A and B are shown apart, each in its own frame.
Chain A
């Protein structure tokens, strides 16, 4: 069985500062990795995903994440955040070749301050 841990429940940061949202996972099989963003009262929007290939993946809105297999991590980064990045961020994994069932972390609230 897989599990996902998002190490920070809340991350406050000032506008234009860099940010890293941490995600670690546990799995005995190969996984796909995802980051989703949720704005208040909205559904989840896919930010980026790692399926295979290059371990550094780039997504929408200037975000990127790096898959580190040895550390079982998939941290999300952005070099300079905007007020509009304030949202809830979810890391998720799914087992390769299975039903596609996503296992989510508990979420990290990114609070960008002016």
Chain B
């Protein structure tokens, strides 16, 4: 069966520091991968998605970037964090049919 991992689970970072969040999927090949952010009191917003290694599409202009160095690895990064980057970051995967997305446990980021 497929599983999706995210780490770290929780992160507290100062403003202006860099960020790297990692997501990995097991038990499937060539998944579509997605990064969402859930800000406090708001719904989920798609940040990036990837249909293959090195292929990244950005949904909203922001302080963040994403990379996919391996088939089942998706990384969310920032060079300098802003207070507004605080939130709950969720990674998701879907199969080739892209019909259904399955979510990881999430990373809670607090920028102080």
Contacts and interface: CB of A to CB of B under 8 A. Distances in A.
B112 to A, nearest CB: 19
Secondary structure of the A contact surface, majority rule: loop
A104 B44 contact: yes
A104 B42 CA distance: 10
Nearest to A102: B101
B99 A32 contact: yes
A98 B32 CA distance: 12
Nearest to B6: A43
B98 interface: yes
Contacts of B34: 100-102
Contact of A100 (B32, B36, B42, B104): B32
B43 A107 contact: yes
B49 A104 contact: no
Given A42-B106, A44-B103, A49-B100, A99 B49 contact: yes
Contact count band on A: 20 to 34
Interface residues of B, number: 26
Contacts of B101: 100, 102
Interface of B is mostly: strand
A83 interface: no
A100 B108 contact: no
A57 to B, nearest CB: 12
B43 A101 contact: no
B57 interface: yes
Interface in B76-97: 90, 92, 94
Lowest 10 A-B CB distances belong to which pairs? A100-B98, A44-B103, A43-B103, A104-B44, A106-B43, A43-B105, A104-B43, A43-B106, A100-B94, A43-B104
Interface of B: 6, 32, 34, 36, 42-46, 49, 51, 57, 59, 90, 92, 94, 98-106, 108
15 contacts: A32-B99, A34-B100, A43-B90, A43-B105, A44-B92, A44-B103, A46-B100, A51-B99, A94-B98, A98-B98, A100-B49, A100-B98, A101-B49, A101-B59, A106-B43
